[in-house]
Amino acid sequence: MVILFACVTLLLIAAPAHAMHISEGILPLPWAALWYALALPFVALGIRRLNMLAKEDLSIKPLVGLMAAVVFIISCLPVPVTTAGTCSHPCGTGMAAILLGPFVSSLIAAVALLLQALFLSHGGLSTWGANIFSMGVVGSFAGFFTFKGLRIIAVPLGLAAFFAGLLADWATYLATSVELASGIRGSEPFLPLLEKIMLAFVPTQLPLGILEGAMTAGMVMLLYRKRPDILVKMRIIAPGEVPSNG
């Protein structure tokens, strides 16, 4: 219901439209098909993982719904990058990956991207696979492994979440740059074009990555203070780490 309400609200807002994610028709068909082939297995594994979590505990569904709404809404905030044929925007997949794991986060991103392509003209159906792979798969796994790695070496919870959100965002745009450079280069050398596209993203994505890191840390610390039981259930913290007022 939250996602449906967000869709209707955004459709009714009168504002200039900017192409979000990788736009429809940007990638040649063979490249679009390749990214579909790479992305869809992660979506399938996300469905399987979500079904397993729901069987173990039905109360996980509200958290999945919350994360789906977060990813949908914040990835609808465009900062146009006209030189790259797309937009910068926060992603939310680092946050979702920390709380639900990278496979469920990939699934959530796939659903959000499909709704945005169908109802908001953000991204496209031909580029859905590429957008899933960059934002859903690369972003989710970058955020998840960053968080887990930092926690292993005893980095504080909030700081680990910050870097997870930051690197999930930046990894998404590195992957997007690779997808764009691969698909549109024609006879131009790959690496110089990749460098140009990455540099085009820098002015917007550097601060947006920091913002996303702060949002991710804020969400995780809010749950730590208000609902530490969720973090324990998802094995993000140990029972002994629950704050005394939790």
Q: What is the pLDDT of residues 90-139, one digit of tens each?
A: 888 999 999 999 999 999 999 999 999 998 878 889 999 999 999 999 99
Mean of the per-residue pLDDT values of the chain: 86
Q: What is the pLDDT of residues 197-233, one digit of tens each?
A: 888 888 778 888 999 999 999 999 999 999 999 999 8
Give the 3-state secondary structure of the chain. Answer: CHHHHHHHHHHHCCCCCCCCCCCCCCCCHHHHHHHHHHHHHHHHHHHHHHHHHHHHCCCHHHHHHHHHHHHHHHCCCCEEEHHHCEEECCCCHHHHHHHHCHHHHHHHHHHHHHHHHHHCCCCCCCCHHHHHHHHHHHHHHHHHHHHHHHHHCCCCHHHHHHHHHHHHHHHHHHHHHHHHHHHHCCCCCHHHHHHHHHHHHHHHHHHHHHHHHHHHHHHHHHHHHHCHHHHHHCCCCCHHHCCCCC
Q: What is the model's pLDDT at position 16?
A: 39
Q: What is the model's pLDDT at position 19?
A: 46
pLDDT at 7 over 50: no
Q: What is the model's pLDDT at position 113?
A: 94
171-199 average pLDDT score:
89
Half-sphere exposure in the Cβ direction for 189 (13 Å, CA):
4
- Report the amino acid identity of residue 138: V
152-177 average pLDDT score:
95
Q: What is the model's pLDDT at position 80?
A: 62
> pTM of this prediction?
0.86
Q: What is the model's pLDDT at position 74?
A: 87
| Topology (CATH level 3) of domain 28-237 | Arp2/3 complex 21 kDa subunit ARPC3 (1.10.1760)
Q: What is the model's pLDDT at position 243?
A: 85
pLDDT at 66 over 70: yes
pLDDT at 48 over 70: yes
Q: Where are the domains of the chain?
A: 28-237
Candidates 102, 98, 80; CA nearest to 205 is 80
pLDDT at 15 over 70: no
pLDDT at 89 over 80: no
